């Protein structure tokens, strides 16, 4: 049975954690996450606000299990969005989507960002603004749809598309590959997927393998997905790509645009994709909360072998 993701578990926990910290005042925030990452300051803050589990909860939902997440996501009706915007020096107002820099810097030097999402009900017919996305199954057939509607959309512009949402990945990596001249574009993306991809890269590094993961396909809007929805083995009509928790990936350390020779046999085949699947399997074993779909795909005339990865919440293989 599909996992209920409405509202997402991370968002419920993040709301609880943020509410507790906000009640203690802005000064405590500054100690928990100083402008530069300072373990001593962090330890002092933890002793002031209570037991370590509170800090651990923040790390889990903001930086993720990988420690590499760099984005906090919320719709503009989230009850904790206003204080976050204020902490970033932005006066909160209804309908303020986009990317907002927070005042804190992560251990790798990248800034933490707030992605203020456009609520789903901003969508009219098959369009969000001037961007064509189509209609989700739950809009057409709510009684039989497996997945709930997305909570909202991330607005992507030419100016913010290079924003890092994790250590290795940017917003532009996940945008649907269509409507090149239409801006802003709108994207659905879940932090669970980002966390899983970062953990897979870390697993490859532990094995002394190349770990530069490239996204062949990230978010696919329903209208784009429907162009080649072929059922098992191809794009599915209710593809997880439409919900922001799926990506087709390959490893490309040499920058030639194709999968690297991960198994070391001197050839680029589906066997290399299977090495990537095996790394993802180990991640799922260690992090069952990120369980989802995995599949290795053979090369074609247009692309090399790749791997489908998602974080749908239940195990799927094909």
Q: In angstroms, how far apart are the furthest CA atoms of the chain?
A: 60
- pLDDT the model gives residue 5: 44
Tell me the C-alpha distance between 118 and 123, whole Å: 9
| Residue predicted with more confidence, 237 or 24 | 237
DSSP character string of 22-68 = HHT-HHHHHHHS-SS--HHHHHHHHHHH--HHHHHHHIIIIITTTS-
- pLDDT the model gives residue 111: 87
Q: Residue 39 pLDDT > 50, yes or no?
A: no
- pLDDT the model gives residue 274: 98
- pLDDT the model gives residue 52: 43
Tell me the C-alpha distance between 147 and 238, whole Å: 8
User: Counting beta carbons within 10 angstroms of the beta carbon of residue 296, is it exposed (0 to 12), middle (13 to 18) or buried (19 or more)?
Assistant: buried
3-class secondary structure for 213-261?
Answer: EEEEECCCCHHHHHHHECCCCCECCCCHHHHCCEEEEEECCCCCCCCCC
Say if CB 268 and CB 290 are below 8 A apart: no
- pLDDT the model gives residue 100: 85
Pairing verdict, β 111-119 and 71-75: parallel
Q: Residue 61 pLDDT > 90, yes or no?
A: no
Q: Residue 12 pLDDT > 70, yes or no?
A: no
Residues 111-144 pLDDT 10s: 888 898 999 999 999 999 999 999 999 999 999 9
Pairing verdict, β 293-297 and 316-317: parallel
Residues 170-221 pLDDT 10s: 999 999 999 999 999 999 999 999 999 999 999 999 999 999 999 999 999 9
Average pLDDT over residues 226-248: 79
What is the pTM (predicted TM-score) of this model? 0.80
- pLDDT the model gives residue 56: 47
Average pLDDT over residues 253-262: 96
- pLDDT the model gives residue 178: 96
Residue 66 binned pLDDT confidence (cut-offs 50, 70, 90):
very high
Tell me the pLDDT of the chain averaged across its residues: 81
At 145, list the tokens: 């749809």
Residues 139-170 pLDDT 10s: 999 999 999 999 999 999 999 999 999 999 99
Tell me the C-alpha distance between 248 and 309, whole Å: 6
Q: Where are the domains of the chain?
A: 9-317
- pLDDT the model gives residue 47: 33
Residues 262-307 pLDDT 10s: 999 999 999 999 999 999 999 999 999 999 999 999 999 899 999 9
Tell me the C-alpha distance between 307 and 309, whole Å: 6
Residues 77-109 pLDDT 10s: 666 556 655 665 665 554 578 898 877 778 888
| Residue predicted with more confidence, 212 or 49 | 212
Contacts of 230 (CB under 8 A, 6+ apart): none
- pLDDT the model gives residue 221: 98
């Amino acid at each position: 049975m599909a996992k209920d993701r409405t509202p997402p578990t991370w968002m419920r926990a993040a709301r609880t954690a943020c509410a507790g910290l906000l009640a203690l005042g802005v000064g405590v925030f500054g100690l928990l996450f100083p402008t530069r990452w300072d373990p001593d300051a962090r330890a002092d803050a933890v002793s002031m606000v209570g037991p370590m589990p509170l800090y651990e909860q923040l790390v889990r939902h903001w930086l993720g299990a990988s420690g590499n997440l760099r984005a906090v996501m919320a719709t503009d009706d989230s009850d904790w969005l206003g204080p976050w915007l204020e902490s970033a020096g932005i006066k909160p107002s209804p309908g303020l989507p986009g990317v907002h820099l927070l005042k804190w810097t992560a251990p790798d030097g990248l800034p933490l960002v707030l992605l203020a999402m456009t609520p789903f009900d901003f969508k009219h017919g098959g369009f969000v603004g001037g961007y064509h996305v189509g209609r989700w199954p739950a809009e057409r057939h709510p009684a039989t749809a497996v997945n709930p509607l997305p909570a909202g959309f991330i607005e992507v512009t030419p100016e913010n598309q290079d924003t890092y949402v994790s250590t290795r990945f940017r917003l532009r990596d996940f945008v649907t590959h269509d409507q090149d001249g239409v801006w802003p574009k709108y994207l659905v993306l879940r932090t669970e997927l980002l966390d899983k991809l970062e953990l897979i890269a870390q697993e490859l590094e532990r094995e002394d393998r190349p770990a530069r993961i490239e996204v062949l396909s990230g978010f696919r809007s329903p209208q784009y997905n429907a162009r080649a929805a072929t059922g098992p083995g191809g794009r599915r009509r209710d593809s997880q790509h439409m919900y922001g928790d799926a990506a087709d990936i390959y490893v490309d350390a040499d920058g030639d645009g194709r999968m690297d020779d991960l198994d070391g046999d001197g050839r680029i085949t589906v066997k290399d994709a299977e090495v990537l699947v095996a790394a993802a399997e180990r991640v799922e074993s260690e992090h069952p909360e990120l369980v989802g779909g995995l599949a290795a795909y053979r090369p074609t005339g247009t692309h090399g072998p790749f791997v489908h990865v998602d974080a749908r919440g239940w195990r799927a293989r094909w």
